[in-house]
Amino acid sequence: MNDQYRVLLPKWIWEKATSKEEAKQFIKDYMKHYPHYRVVSVKDGFAICQRTEI
C-alpha cells in the first residue's frame, strides 16, 4: 500500500516562517494534528503524506 495523501497546509506557516528550517518545524508541529500521516514531501502548499499503520 503506497497511497499518498495531501494535507493542505495553513497559510500562516508560510507567512510566519523566516527560513526553510523554521517552515519545516512549523509543518512538523502542525502535522501532529494528523498522527497517522508521515510527511514525504511538501509541494504547492500541501504536505504529501503516507498513512502509517496503527
DSSP assignment of the chain equals: ---EEEEEPPHHHHHH-SSHHHHHHHHHHHGGG-TTEEEEEEETTEEEEEEPP-
Domain that holds residue 45: 4-51
Q: How far is 53 from 24, CA to CA, in rounded Å? A: 23
pTM above 0.75?
A: yes
In the chain, the number of structural domains is: 1
Q: Per residue in 5-36, pLDDT tens?
A: 999 999 999 999 999 999 999 999 999 999 99
Per the CB < 8 A criterion, the answer to whether 41 and 9 are in contact is no
Strands 37-43 and 4-8 turn out to be unpaired
